[in-house]
Structures are given as C-alpha cells and as structure tokens.
C-alpha cells in the first residue's frame, strides 16, 4: 500500500508542478524577436529540481513547457524539441542537486546543477534551431536570449528555493 500511495503522491506532484510551470510560462512571456520567448517557466523547473528532485523536475518541466508551446500556437512546432530539452534540463539539475544524500541542500552543487542544466538548454535549443533552419549559423543569434532566459530563471528560483527550504515543510524533509 505504501508504494501505491507514494506513486499517487508523485503523480499528483508532477501534475501540479506541470501546471505551475505552464502558468509561469504563460503568465509572463516576451517574444525575443529571434523565434524564442523569455518567460518565467524555467524558474519553476529549477525550483522543482532543487526542492523535489529529478523525476518531478524533468517531467513537470517537459510537460508544462510543451503545453505552453502547444497552447501558444506560434510555438507549437517547438513542442517536441521543448519536451526533450526541458526534460533533460530538469533531470540534470535535479540529479546534481539530489545525488547522494544532498536532497537539494548543498548550494554549491545546486549552482553547478543549474549551470549544467542551463548549458544543456542553450545547446539543446541551438541544435533544435540548426535542425529547424537547416544551418548552424542562424541559431547563434538566439544564444544570448537563451543565456538571459536561464540566468533570469535562476535569479527568480534561487531566492524562492532558499526561502521555501526554511519552511517547516522542507525542514522536516531535510
């Protein structure tokens, strides 16, 4: 019975975090003029990775951001790329933050996770754009916007995570 309860809790958490990622992405998104969009969704993927862990961050980031792409219309063709890129980004950040017994409590590893996850996101979108546009030069123009995107996401997520980790709920889970 414990395993079933655990699976249901994880399923609900993934659904809730997917919705939070989607709403954060939809609530404030600014087209960057290069075919992409600056948004708050990455901050919620980072938050999930540092608070809850690998699988939840990977799935909620992938599902929430893919839903944004599909619902926006303008970015629908990005949905499969976004799913893979955000899944791996959330996985990398969560894996580094939660590996061993860290449970997202070691800020050195958390920052390394964000950096590696961010580098993956930048590289992943570069590769996706190279495939979409059929050349390797055009995607270079989007790299600065992607750097701003991950830096902004980290800038929002880090203070939120630090504050939430001080709450009784996360103190009890440490």
Q: What angle do CA 52, 53, 57 make, to 5 degrees?
A: 90
Lowest-confidence pick of 37-41, 94-98, 116-120? 37-41
- CATH code (residue 70): 1.10.1760.20
For the stretch 12-67, pLDDT in tens is: 999 999 999 999 999 988 887 766 778 999 999 999 999 999 999 999 999 999 99
Cα 113 from Cα 34, distance rounded (Å): 27
The domain total for the chain is: 1
Coil, strand or helix at 105 = coil
Burial class (CB in 10 A: 0-12, 13-18, 19+), 100: exposed
Average pLDDT over every residue of 70-77:
90
Residue 94 counted as domain residue: yes
Q: Which of 5-9, 17-21, 70-74, 139-143 has the lowest mean pLDDT?
A: 5-9
173 within a domain of the structure (yes/no): no
Strand partners, 135: none
Is residue 174, in this structure, part of any structural domain at all? no
Find the mean pLDDT for residues 128-134: 95
Residue 37 included in any domain: yes
Domain range for 11: 2-166
**If you ran DSSP here, which 8-state letter would residue 53 be given?**
-
Q: 23 with 132: CB under 8 angstroms?
A: no
- 3-state class of 28 per DSSP? coil
172 found inside a domain: no
31 phi and psi angles, rounded to 5 deg: -60, 135
Nearest to 49 by CA among 88, 82, 76, 12: 88
Residue 171 placed within a domain? no
First to last CA, the chain: 24
């Amino acid at each position: 019975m414990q395993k079933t309860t655990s699976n249901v809790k994880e399923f609900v958490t993934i659904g809730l975090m997917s919705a939070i990622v989607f709403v954060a992405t939809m609530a404030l998104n600014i087209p960057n003029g290069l075919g992409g969009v600056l948004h708050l969704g990455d901050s919620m993927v980072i938050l999930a990775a540092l608070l809850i862990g690998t699988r939840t961050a990977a799935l909620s980031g992938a599902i929430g951001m893919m839903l944004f792409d599909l619902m926006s219309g303008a970015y629908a063709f990005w949905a499969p790329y976004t799913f893979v890129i955000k899944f791996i980004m959330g996985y990398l950040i969560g894996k580094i933050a939660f590996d061993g017994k860290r449970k997202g409590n070691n800020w050195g590893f958390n920052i390394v996770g964000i950096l590696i996850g961010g580098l993956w996101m930048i590289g992943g979108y570069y590769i996706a754009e190279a495939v979409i546009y059929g050349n390797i030069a055009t995607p270079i123009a989007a790299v600065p916007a992607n750097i701003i995107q991950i830096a902004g996401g980290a800038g929002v997520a880090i203070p939120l995570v630090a504050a939430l980790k001080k709450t009784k709920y996360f103190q009890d889970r440490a």
